[in-house]
Chains A and B, each alone.
Chain A
Amino acid sequence: MNAAWLRDLLRRGSAGAEARAGDSIPPDELIDAFFDREAGGADLSDALKRSAPAAGRVERIQSMLDELRRPTRSRDLSASILAEVGRRRPWLPASMRRFVTGGRLAAAACFLLFVGGAFYAQRIAPDSVRFTTEPAPLTDLVSAGRADAASGMRTLAAAIDCVREAASSPKCVAETLARPAPSWDQTILIVDARPSRALRGARPLEARSPCAVVRLTHCQSVANADMPQPTMVFYQVRRIGGPDQVMFQMRTPDLPAAYSISSLPPR
Chain B
Amino acid sequence: MTRAAEQKLIERAARGDRAAGEALIKAHQASLYNYIFRLSGRADVAEDIVQDAFVRVLMHLDRFDPRYRFSTWLFTIAKRLFVNASQKQKPRYDSDVVGAWRGDGMAPSAPTIDAEVRDNARDAIQVALGGLSDEQREIILLFHQQDWPIALIAGHMGMPEGTVKSHLHRGRQRMRRVLEACENNRATVAEVWT
Interface residues in chain A, defined as those with a beta carbon under 8 Å from any beta carbon in chain B: 28, 32, 35-36, 57, 60-61, 64-65, 67-69, 71-72, 74-78, 80-82, 84-86, 88-92, 94, 96-97, 100-101
Q: Is the CB of B51 within 8 A of A80?
A: yes
Contact between chains at A74 and B16 (CB < 8 Å): no
Q: Which residues of A contact B47 (CB under 8 A)?
A: 74-75, 77
B51, B128, B144 — most chain A CB neighbours (10 Å): B144
Q: Smallest Cβ distance from B27 to chain A, in angstroms?
A: 10
Say yes or no: A64-B179 contact (C-beta < 8 A), given A36-B150, A84-B51: yes
On whether the beta carbons of A74 and B176 are closer than 8 Å, the reply is: no
B14-53 contacts to A, CB under 8 A, are 15-18, 21-22, 25-26, 29-30, 33-34, 37-38, 43, 46-47, 50-51
CB closest residue in chain A, given B125: A67
Q: In the complex, identify which listed stretch (B77-85, B86-94, B100-108, B167-175) lies at the interface while the others stay far away.
A: B167-175
**Smallest Cβ distance from B184 to chain A, in angstroms?**
13
A residues near B135, Cβ cutoff 8 Å: none
B168 vs chain A, min Cβ distance (A): 7
23 pairs from A and B in contact (CB 8 Å cutoff): A32-B168, A32-B172, A61-B172, A61-B176, A64-B125, A64-B128, A64-B175, A64-B176, A64-B179, A68-B141, A71-B30, A71-B34, A72-B34, A72-B37, A72-B43, A76-B29, A77-B25, A78-B22, A81-B55, A85-B21, A90-B16, A91-B18, A91-B21
Q: Taking A75-B47, A88-B59, A92-B15 as contacts, is the C-beta distance between A60 and B25 under 8 angstroms?
A: no
Which B residues are within 8 Å of any A CB, using their own CB?
15-18, 21-22, 25-26, 29-30, 33-34, 37-38, 43, 46-47, 50-51, 54-55, 58-59, 125, 128-129, 140-141, 144-145, 150, 165, 168-169, 172, 175-176, 179-180
Residues of B close to A100: CB separation below 8 A = 15-16
**Alpha-carbon distance A101/B22, docked complex (angstroms):** 22
Contact among A61, A78, A85 for B29, CB-based, below 8 A: A78
In angstroms, Cα B17 to Cα A92, docked, is 6
B187 to nearest A CB, angstroms? 15
Distance in angstroms from B103 CB to nearest chain A CB is: 34
Give 19 new A-B contacts, CB below 8 A, not counting A36-B165, A61-B172: A35-B168, A64-B125, A67-B125, A68-B125, A68-B145, A69-B144, A72-B38, A74-B29, A74-B47, A78-B29, A81-B29, A81-B51, A82-B22, A85-B21, A91-B16, A91-B21, A92-B15, A94-B17, A97-B15
The answer to whether A57 and B176 have CB atoms under 8 Å apart is yes
- List the A side residues contacting B15 at CB < 8 Å: 92, 97, 100-101
**B180 interface neighbour in A28, A36, A60, A69, Cβ under 8 Å:** A60
Q: Report the separation of the CA atoms of residues A14 and B191 in the bound assembly, to the nearest whole angstrom.
A: 41
